[in-house]
Amino acid sequence: MIVIREAIEHEFEFIRRQRITAYKQYEHAVPAEHLKVLLKAISSEITVENGVEYLVAESDGAVAGSVVLFPPRSDAYEGLTGALDYPEIRMLVVDTQFRQQGIGKSLIEECINRSQKKGFPSIGLHTADFMKSAVKLYERLGFIRLPQFDFVPLDDGIVVKAYHFDLTTI
């Protein structure tokens, strides 16, 4: 059984290491410099920031995955997108041994539910084409492209693409 809950502070270092391990799967899909920047961004220390929610998926007592939900108008991408008027999902990770069990979907659905309960009309996220499984998941869940909020973090041709989900339709 999967339980989605807020991360406990003593789990933060484990979650950070789990993120790094999971994102290293892209080492052959992107240029080395891009991977270095990506790993630096996702390995930052987890701190309890105002309104930022760190969620974990627990399976049989183990942290199987995690996601971060940033509140609207926060700088989730350190100046690359500007402050967006809706919550932003970031750093979805499912440990390799727990994949194909619906954990990523459950984490995203929890972000959607939390945002809807708070009365937000929409929620967004950014991803790149090399994250093929994630792109499929987001599109299957009904996220649509918002190209005007795409960004290119490095001059290597990789576009970080914006997606949006209208919470008023559910």
The model's pLDDT over 137-160, given as tens digits with 9 standing for 90+, comes to: 999 999 999 999 999 989 999 999
Which CATH number covers residue 162?
Answer: 3.40.630.30
Model pLDDT, residue 73: 84
> What is the tally of structural domains in the chain?
1
**By residue range, what is the domain housing residue 32?**
2-169
pTM: 0.93
Residue 169 has pLDDT above 60, yes or no: yes
Angle (nearest 5°) at CA 30 between 28 and 36: 100
Residues 6+ apart with CB under 8 A from 95: 18, 21, 22, 63, 64, 65
Residue 100 has pLDDT above 90, yes or no: yes
* Residue whose structure tokens are 């003593």: 10
The model's pLDDT over 23-49, given as tens digits with 9 standing for 90+, comes to: 999 999 999 999 998 888 888 766 666
